[in-house]
Amino acid sequence: MKYKRILLKLSGESLMGSKQFGIDNDRINSYAKQIKEIQNIGHEVAIVIGGGNIFRGVQAEEGGMDRTHGDYMGMLATMINAMALQSALESNGVKTRLQSAIEMKAIAEPFIRRKAVRHLEKGRVVIFGAGTGNPFFTTDSAASLRAIEINADVILKGTRVDGIYTADPEKDKNATKYETITFDEVYKKGLNVMDLTAFTLCKENNLPIIVFNMDTPGNLEKVLSGKTIGTLVRN
């Protein structure tokens, strides 16, 4: 098994499905079923989820709110999404643990690296909420950091598009997809994969990233079975 332990990064926006805001229950249930599939065949799964479907700290700053205050609100939004995903997974018979970078005793364990690794070894899906616990860091950075801390083999970035393109495929019909690309090439071409902090963390720690379309049921399992789905970024 090439990628035994994986860190799945989901955007908050992806949980909206066809809605304009909030959480689409059908979408989150579809994600839970896909995660259960890969866990059943022996993969250890950790998850980081964004909060953009509920609140984004950057948007708050644009409206005049203090950026630090807005970022903490965004962290709370990720916890709402994390709890929703936890509930969907457990409804599908998957054992989970939710760990938070900000202490919330009533709903989550604090993030403790050794505990997280032990949960993964015991076959539990571990969801990391509240980002890194620090303002000015995105959930992409949280995903990179947690993946490195738990010695994940790969980051799987589930998005609405099926990989990395030469241009935005939703705007440019002539955009072509990369099957494989190096970290250096992404830098040089100015492609948008993750924010620079997160991306640099992966490069420096030799952690590959696979960008793929999570909204197509079955894609998660296909990526891990070695099928050419999405785009692989590596050194």
Beta-carbon contacts of residue 164 (< 8 Å; ≥ 6 apart): 177, 178, 181, 186, 191, 193, 211, 231, 233
What would the pLDDT profile of 108-143 be if each residue is shown by its tens digit?
Answer: 999 999 999 999 999 999 999 999 999 999 999 999
Q: Residue 153: exposed, middle, or buried by beta-carbon count in 10 A (0-12, 13-18, 19+)?
A: middle
The backbone torsions φ and ψ at residue 190, rounded to the nearest 5 degrees and listed phi first, read 65, 35
Compute the distance between CA of residue 213 and CA of residue 69 in angstroms, rounded to an integer.
Answer: 32
Residue 95 has pLDDT above 90, yes or no: yes
60, two tokens: 């708050």
Predicted local confidence at residue 169, as pLDDT: 80
66, two tokens: 């203090």
Q: What is the pTM of this model?
A: 0.95
Predicted local confidence at residue 82, as pLDDT: 98
Domains of the chain: 5-234 (3.40.1160.10)
What would the pLDDT profile of 70-89 be if each residue is shown by its tens digit?
Answer: 999 999 999 999 999 999 99
- CA proximity to 121, closest of 15, 46, 221: 46
Tell me the mean pLDDT in the region 96-106.
98
What would the pLDDT profile of 165-178 be if each residue is shown by its tens digit?
Answer: 998 887 888 999 99
